[in-house]
Structure 1
């Protein structure tokens, strides 16, 4: 269903004139669940950084490798995907349940469009759900009945905050937010997190300026600030790294492209 064009239908609670992070992401991937306002932002982002589509797919590949590690190697069977966005290929639950059909996944996003689309994909899947909630409201997320139906918060759980933290300003205390989620989980739980990396790179500066101008948000952070998200946790090798360097499917062929240097992420375990 294409949502573009004059007078086309929008779900209740959705303002088609106001771009959404989830729908801009969908537009960058060539999806159909977006409006003219979202496509306008996507075009501006591509003008600022022509490789932004590659960046989005790099992000998706990182999530896939992380989820596969969490289920196959770390033994995690419960995943909460914060700021999940609109469903696309190789969704978190697909990767997790390919490794273990009993793995349980809950998607969380603020955009009201995400939940109905995710529900359509998850129809008949008893081990996955989607909820509409603001990731900054920890109590609302972790206390949501649909989440509690699937996730036993007394058992080890993975929190994914990949492609989300750069949307949260320092004034909103993103490090304290991440800590609240991890404090609510038992030892043996995992955090997967990422952020755009602040640097002198012209591409980084152009993308940060464009995100601020088009979305009103976009907070790039230095390596030390990104590493702080994992304070008190035990990092999985290779630690905080550029996405292509984190458990690559094959040997990295050479130096990273400039756009591949824009993101840092990692995975860490809550110790006993």
Structure 2
């Protein structure tokens, strides 16, 4: 919502100030189509040249994140802590054997099925199950497990940030591409040097539109979108850090409730449930779970 408001304000204030200063939109409107073709077209072409198909598809999907915001809400963090509580409690009270059916076939697990949104996130489920599977194979050194989880998180986060980096690279290129379009306009003007001053002035004005559009799109649109996408990815990444915190705390021998309390401390402040809220969520879990 705020992104749409920001875009409306961007266009309204920039072009409004231009009109209030006595500027005419005719020159911009006349030059914009072919200048945008040169600048934005070249920017997209450079984007395609410099990125893999995986990053291109992820960037296209990333525009939804820019406007929708982070995937995980406050209720999802409570659900994650409740899920981890159930898993660690089962492992402590019933042993490794009781946990195997849940981590080998999580899509059939009565524990995972209680939290459908988390179950649909393949990385979250695989991250939890792979770590618990390591524990069932007697890898119980908290430091080794934490190191292995950290490497998985770093790889996942690096890959998730690639679309934001690709967009930022495109934003960095747009001002230079605007200069390219402006130079082409100057070349065109110099080829018509015998025309009257009024005609030459219009041609120079059209050429400068290229420089304006390159800088405007870079710092007003594409750059802020890249920054927003990076912020969303970073916030979503905090969700997976909680999994690491809880499971490592469990390996240190803490009770299930203590482990999830340690995890609660890692929840972003804006989504962090209070101690009472988490306790209420845990007490609402049926005994048969």
TM tier relative to shorter chain: under 0.3
- TM-score w.r.t. structure 1 length? 0.24
Decide which structure has greater strand share.
1
For CA contacts below 8 A with separation 6 or more, give which structure has more relative contact order.
Answer: 2
Which structure has the larger Rg? 2
- TM-score w.r.t. structure 2 length? 0.23
